[in-house]
Structure 1
Amino acid sequence: MNEFDLKYNIIDEKTPTNATLCGKHKRSFAYYTIQERLPIILTKIIDQTTRDKDEIADIFKGEESKDDIKEAIANMSQLKYELQTNKELTPLDGEEADKDVWNTFIGLLSENNTYFSTKWLYAECYLYRRLKSIFEKTNTLKTYDYFRKQKDAAFTSSLPAIEMVVQHTAEFYSKYTTAEASTLHELESFFYKLLRINLWGNRCDLSISNGREVKQSGNPFEGLESFESCILHDQSSDIWNCMKSGGQSCTIDIIMDNAGYEIFTDFVLTDFILRYNFAQKVRFHCKAIPWFISDVVYRDFHWTIRQLAKSENKVLRAFGERLQQYVDSNRIELRPTEYFWTSPYEMQAMEPIAPKLYADLATSHLLIFKGDLNYRKLLADVNWPFGTHFIDVLGVFRPTNLCTLRTVKADLICELPDGKADELSKLDPMWMETGKYGVMHFAPKV
């Protein structure tokens, strides 16, 4: 044991079964994230802000912004020090509407109130919320998105793959113009392909790469069959059956994860749903503040549609214009800012903590939860026995039919076949951290 581990009571073991994920377990991804990944992420934000200080000052308010930038850099350095020395999570200040919710939550943590001793979910979410509070306290940088450049670059670098996907879907739609002109089997088969495009789009996650550029390359449709063995739990047929049972007037919700290529795949799936009238409306839910580097905020949603609609590629431009028409006709709706998505709380706490959001989701026919953080919140950041059923881990969180599309980037999972985890561990001990594998769970409305 090194001095750090002894000082902060780090245990040289994996996360025990049925225990919450926590940085105190040295052989866990939680420990690695808090010890290695998060300090790297903070360092990169500090370096980027330092490099871009003149550009940032030009966008905001000149000399006053330069002073704010200096202050923000100093406060980020302090935050990094607190993280690396396992300090307590301290109350937030500022003007964001979620401040009191966070501070009440922090006050209830009692003795488990340091980065390595509290639940990983709490520690990681707190760090990103503290990061926002640093800029929130400045006079000129309250609206500055310190992740915007990386998100925009992730989209731009994936444009060749985006063009291939849109071309492929356009060819299908030209052949099967309406639901009446198609057989249900043809639509079902294509839906499965789009669901997989959407699932594997979740691999493009800037937080798992510590902010390094992540892009989708090649033709995403061509590799789908070879990836089938990487889907560890596949309830896509249940998702299809649920979707087609909703009727033309129903609503479907997508709780988004990443900007860049992944939000594009969300739009592709939505276009299919609306084109063939499997729903009247698709509602999107984004993050209220910059979050986990690549998560979608309000600006990213509209910026992506605009980029598509002004593309020089004719097919891509038509797709973007069609998305904008859906927005204008209210068939695509971006829901109002909801701070629950950037709270520390697990989904099981939604109804008492955010009752209006829970009631809103309950009006939907199907909720599609995207990505690893949403998955962690659905599983409450607990190291469940691998065979535990998805329905069982959801507990009281059952507002309506719901599914999750997630590539595996953290060491928790449920509903695996007996012996599958051991088999994968023999192939690669780090299999739960790579994003190579995916799951598609479904839980029907109670």
Structure 2
Amino acid sequence: MSRTTDPPPLSAKDKNSFAYLTIKDRLPVILSKIADSVYRLKGKIKEEYGEEGTEDLKSFAGCISKLRNEVQTNKPVVPIKDGRSDVVVWNDHLEEIIKCTGSPPKWFESPWLYVECYMYRRVQEAAELCKTLKDFDVFREQKEKSFFDSQQAILVLMEHLHNVVEEFKSGKQLDLKHLFENFLKVSLWGNKCDLSISAGQDFAQTTSPLDQLHQFEPKILVDNTDAVFTCLQNVKVTKGHQACVDIILDNAGFELMTDLCFAEFLVSFGLASKICFHVKAIPWFVSDVTPYDFSWMINQLCASNSVYMSKFASKWQQYIEDKTWQVVVDDFWTLSFPFNEMESRCPNLHARLAQSDFIFLKGDLNYRKLVGDLAWLFTTPFPESLRGFQPAPLCALRTSKSDTITGLKDGQASQVKAQDDKWMVNGNWAVISFSDKMS
């Protein structure tokens, strides 16, 4: 893959993303997993929806089989045909690509970001075309299992959060910066638990995330934690109020728990007064958080016999009721556009984020969209790779699962590759990348 300091605009002919063999191998595996999940759910669907549900499930499975064949045989991309609000955007974009290139994009000859997003949108189309299964999330069982499999790690994390919050309330002198760093990095490494990178196979956190921080420290290739902390602290000085923070979420399960604990820390320790969580409108990249997933998580914590889980769940429910926390949805997060097109494609969302004091973006897909999924020189400054997307100061918390990255030092990539040939794609290496609107 060639590298350039001046990447071209993302287009249907852009091959600066994953090699198409990655698509050829990976996407059919995910679609096969979906087909297997559908087969296992036959009895449950029939019990809940009757014969109509059974017929819908057959229709859904047929759509997935057709889609898998299209991927494997490198068919042209076709328009979306359901009734969701985003259909016009998807199909207009397809027309833009055809006008630009002269032909419809094909699976192995198009930007990986576009076709991967398109695949998940087609999975949703299969549900939308059913009468009874429009809200069907074929990934739900996997997401919920990942939460239950991570119970011990969650309990350890929440007990630690409870203890430091109580110590702070009692007036004990604590190292705020050190605590901030810990909770930020727990949230960062929570991103390792990504079901899409494992094609939906089990991926749970089974050990204490706090005990692993020291072990993971050398794996952070870009660490702008100090700048992030300073920026958040300065909001009160420069604006006279605590920060209003937006968090663009990634995965459900354990990662969502780390994000909620980080948000609680920000509020309890006076670094933020309001948190806005941005979730996906539809099931997305196997394990991404939907509104249902967010509510389900809180409800599970409420029902827990752990005093720490139930206590924080009640507190977080109150946060949602009094608007300290908000959960919002926008179709833009489940489109294929890089974020530097947000202002023109979705001006309302961009204007909303411009009112934020700080934005955290979680995970690999958000990072890819930040930098356009382009083959930047590794040493390109992160703010430069944003290509003008800077509605507010922002920080990307990402474990690397795709081959694009910026902000590294000279020679750093070669050194890491000598240790780990798969360093860009296996989720074992991470960045905490910061860009300040004012810089």
Partner in structure 2 of residue 5 of structure 1: none
C-alpha displacement at 1:135, in angstroms?
1.1
Q: Secondary structure at the match of 2:437?
A: coil
Flag the 1:206–1:121 CA change in 2: closer, same or farther, 3 A.
same
Partner in structure 2 of residue 275 of structure 1: 268
With normalisation by structure 2, the TM-score equals 0.94
Partner in structure 2 of residue 229 of structure 1: 218
CA contact (8 A) 1:22 1:117 kept: no
C-alpha displacement at 1:58, in angstroms?
2.1
Partner residue of 2:164 out of 162, 169, 172: 172
C-alpha displacement at 1:273, in angstroms?
0.9
Deviations 1:334-369 (A, max 9, x none): 12x210000110000000110000000000000000
Moved more, 29-38 or 261-270: 29-38
Match status 1:385 vs 2:377 = yes
Q: Secondary structure at the match of 2:97?
A: coil
Match status 1:206 vs 2:198 = no
Listed as ranges, the matches of 1:299-378 within 5 Å are 299-335=292-328, 337-378=329-370
Counterparts of 2:129 and 2:90, CA distance in 1: 16
C-alpha displacement at 1:325, in angstroms?
1.6
Q: Secondary structure at the match of 2:208?
A: coil
Counterparts of 1:203 and 1:209, CA distance in 2: 10
Match status 1:69 vs 2:62 = no
C-alpha displacement at 1:33, in angstroms?
3.2
Partner in structure 2 of residue 286 of structure 1: 279
Flag the 1:83–1:20 CA change in 2: closer, same or farther, 3 A.
farther
Listed as ranges, the matches of 1:11-410 within 5 Å are 14-17=1-4, 18=7, 29-59=18-48, 61-110=49-98, 111=103, 113-177=105-169, 181=171, 183=173, 186-247=175-236, 248-335=241-328, 337-410=329-402
CA contact (8 A) 1:19 1:383 kept: no
With normalisation by structure 1, the TM-score equals 0.92
CA contact (8 A) 1:204 1:258 kept: yes
Flag the 1:313–1:23 CA change in 2: closer, same or farther, 3 A.
farther
Counterparts of 2:38 and 2:225, CA distance in 1: 43
Flag the 1:25–1:255 CA change in 2: closer, same or farther, 3 A.
closer
Match of 2:187, as an amino acid?
Answer: N
Match of 1:202, as an amino acid?
Answer: N
Counterparts of 2:197 and 2:11, CA distance in 1: 17
C-alpha displacement at 1:54, in angstroms?
1.8
Counterparts of 1:101 and 1:21, CA distance in 2: 17
Counterparts of 1:112 and 1:432, CA distance in 2: 30
C-alpha displacement at 1:277, in angstroms?
2.2
Deviations 1:249-307 (A, max 9, x none): 43100000000000101100110111122222100000000000000000001111111
Flag the 1:26–1:243 CA change in 2: closer, same or farther, 3 A.
closer
Q: Secondary structure at the match of 2:210?
A: coil
Cα RMSD after superposing both structures: 1.9
Task: Determine what percentage of the aligned residue pairs are the same residue.
Answer: 39
Partner in structure 1 of residue 428 of structure 2: 436
Moved more, 236-245 or 380-389: 236-245
Flag the 1:425–1:28 CA change in 2: closer, same or farther, 3 A.
farther
Counterparts of 2:401 and 2:157, CA distance in 1: 25
Deviations 1:164-186 (A, max 9, x none): 111112222222217xx355x71
Counterparts of 1:160 and 1:417, CA distance in 2: 37
The gaps in structure 1 that reach 5 residues or longer are: 1-13
Aligned residues: 428
CA contact (8 A) 1:135 1:141 kept: yes
Flag the 1:362–1:171 CA change in 2: closer, same or farther, 3 A.
same
Counterparts of 1:372 and 1:200, CA distance in 2: 12
CA contact (8 A) 1:389 1:414 kept: yes
Match of 1:329, as an amino acid?
Answer: D
CA contact (8 A) 1:29 1:433 kept: no
Counterparts of 1:164 and 1:21, CA distance in 2: 43
Counterparts of 2:11 and 2:71, CA distance in 1: 14
Counterparts of 2:399 and 2:350, CA distance in 1: 25
